[in-house]
Chains A and B, each alone.
Chain A
């Protein structure tokens, strides 16, 4: 496992933690907020938006790790620091 690979793995864990915190925030809000769901909705909405962003970025990191997607050779290129050939 090289440095790039390790940084992607750490990113996945960090993002998953942020996602879990946001999900917890929503659950707490639903449990203790007002029944009409009118208080602090902006905070809950932001947490929901953050979860979408975080899960999207986790997919990106998994793709860069080669755990999803088909182009394994390309991923190996990435881990050597190259994605594509330069434009002539």
Chain B
């Protein structure tokens, strides 16, 4: 059922690609750059966030006023704030599209589980950073979100209260609250770049950045939105006042909105369950058919005498599993006699896919569990058995 649904979604995704490719050149199809667009919006968020950071005062009495000052008094401050606001939404949209696209096209299985897991962490952190951003504005909605956040944390058995006090900075609101929320906004945002490194480290040719066309259009759209529908603050928060209902923002405030409709612990379990499900997706219903060759071929082996140091395998390996080192001695074949470099396979990164075997024109790489001589012998045997049967 699950595989059948994924197959249908895969067909839909591929047909959508073809439909978009009729309008755009294939190398400019925006759906091929959902990851790069996510990275672009993260970059815009960081740059605009640094600008906002210089004006923001993390204090219960000045937090709201500093944001209003930034919006109304600082030249282009309102525009930058709007760009920050809409880039956050665009970041989540692009990240979700990236997630769905890779899920539907099976790009999360086997060796791609590492980018998938790091991506789930980034999505989790992205949502959390967005929610803390709402609190920093310190208007009535911020107070309601903080109240709901406090309630969600306190609902966690045993450690909930300690967590809540750690985040709020004491039993109740105080001068320590907003600096801590600011830390929870900026700190995880920095951690996103560490996670990005994890996201890319196993990929040889990641599309880190979208083409200039989409960089300009994306930046233009968020700037246009920031100008035409400016981000505004509500009335200042009044500590001690009863928080009102939270207006739904599907990207960042859904759990807090749900907390008003159901018990907080249920919301915590729902969110945790959703992400646990996301983390285990690459490991459920994996194909175990040996014909797929996964973990049956053995780590690729460099045949020292044949390697010419041409670097073709190094460039073709999608998993960064081959490095070129200075050759300690010349190769045995005529082509390898004057080599300067030697290919070395990193065992921990090799997924035994065999791409390097196809990349090497000098027969300098082999998969130990799938040697050419063995394949030839098996094929010859199969042909002779079939021939004998026919006779």
Contact B220 A52 (CB under 8 A): yes
A50 to B213, CA, bound (A): 13
B21 at the interface (CB under 8 A from A): yes
A3–chain B nearest beta-carbon distance, Å: 16
How many residues of A are in contact with the other chain, CB < 8 A? 33
Contacts of B215 in A (CB 8 A): 56
Q: Which residues of A contact B230 (CB under 8 A)?
A: 42
Contact of B212 among A42, A53, A59 (CB under 8 A): A59
Within 8 A of B (CB), among A35-88: 36-38, 41-46, 48-57, 59-60, 63-64, 69, 71, 74-75, 78, 82-84, 86-87
Query: Chain B, 206-238, contact with A by CB distance < 8 Å: what is the 0/1 string?
Result: 000001111111011111111110100000000
Q: How far, in Å, is A32 (CB) from chain B's closest CB?
A: 16
Chain B contact-residue range equals: 35 or more
Q: Give which listed residue, B211, B217, B228, contacts A53 with CB less than 8 A.
A: B217
B227 / chain A contacts, CB cutoff of 8 Å: 41-46, 48-49
B283 within 8 A of A: no
CB <8 Å contact, A60 and B28: yes
B76 x A41 contact (CB < 8 A):
yes
User: Do B220 and A87 touch across chains, with their CB atoms under 8 A apart?
Assistant: no
Asked if B157 is an interface residue, CB under 8 A from chain A, the answer is: no
Q: List 20 A-B contacts (CB under 8 A).
A: A38-B73, A38-B75, A43-B227, A45-B76, A45-B79, A45-B224, A46-B227, A48-B79, A48-B223, A49-B224, A49-B226, A52-B219, A55-B216, A59-B211, A59-B216, A60-B24, A64-B25, A75-B25, A83-B25, A84-B22
B interface list, Cβ under 8 A from A: 11, 14-15, 17-18, 21-22, 24-28, 72-73, 75-76, 78-79, 82, 211-217, 219-228, 230
Please give 15 more A-B residue pairs, beta carbons under 8 A apart, in addition to A45-B76, A53-B221.
Answer: A41-B75, A45-B223, A49-B227, A52-B219, A52-B223, A53-B216, A53-B217, A55-B216, A56-B215, A56-B216, A60-B28, A82-B22, A83-B21, A84-B18, A84-B21
